[in-house]
């Protein structure tokens, strides 16, 4: 990959990779570190990509793998803190309305496997099939995780006096 292509990929996909990492680890510093690791792997990756969508899928898959590795590390278990410890602005996330920021916090309260699937489906507009391929899951598993996430979100948001 040429330096120009790498720079363009960083400019275009750094926000997406950061948000995926943030949904996994719920910590700004860790998400920034994971994002940097993902782009280091891209820089070292010698293969070419078929198209932009293939590159984006590869970056998201690597981000998910980096996040999983991070979540299972002994360091994470000892020094874990979350986005709940600070504000959304501290995490580098802003929304135009209060409802959207509260929805984001509700999504962040979900278990990690649900957070990632919800983010990819609703925020990144991937289909169930594309998510299944990226996460190396069956389509029915992704559908089940989305269904369970919606159910948990409905419970969380109904406790916060939202109507559906």
pTM (2 decimals)?
A: 0.66
**Rounded CA gap, 36 and 31, in Å?**
9
Quick count: other Cβ atoms within 10 Å of Cβ 100?
11
Over the range 111-148, which residues count as b (16 or more CB within 10 Å of their CB) and which as e? eebbbbbbbbbeeeebebebbbebbebeeebbbebbee
* DSSP label at residue 83: G
User: Residue 118: pLDDT above 70?
Assistant: yes
> What does the pLDDT look like over 45-62, one tens digit per residue?
867 778 888 888 899 999
Confidence of residue 85 (pLDDT cuts 50, 70, 90): very low
Question: Domains of the chain by range and CATH?
Answer: 1-94 (1.10.1740.10), 96-164 (1.10.10.10)
Q: Angle 3-25/28-44 helices, nearest 10 degrees?
A: 150
């Amino acid at each position: 990959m040429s330096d120009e292509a790498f720079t363009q990929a960083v400019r275009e996909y750094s926000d997406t990779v950061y948000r995926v990492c943030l949904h996994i680890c719920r910590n700004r510093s860790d998400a920034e570190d994971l994002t940097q690791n993902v782009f280091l792997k891209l820089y070292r990756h010698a293969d070419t990509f078929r198209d932009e969508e293939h590159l984006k899928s590869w970056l998201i898959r690597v981000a998910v793998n980096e996040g999983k590795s991070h979540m299972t590390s002994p360091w994470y278990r000892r020094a874990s803190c979350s986005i709940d410890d600070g504000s959304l602005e501290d995490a580098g996330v802003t929304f135009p309305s209060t409802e959207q920021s509260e929805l984001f916090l509700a999504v962040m309260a979900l278990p990690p496997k649900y957070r990632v699937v919800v983010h990819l489906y609703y925020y990144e507009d991937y289909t169930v099939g594309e998510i299944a391929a990226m996460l190396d899951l069956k389509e029915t598993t992704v559908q089940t995780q989305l269904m369970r996430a919606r159910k948990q979100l409905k419970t969380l948001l109904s406790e916060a006096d939202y109507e559906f």
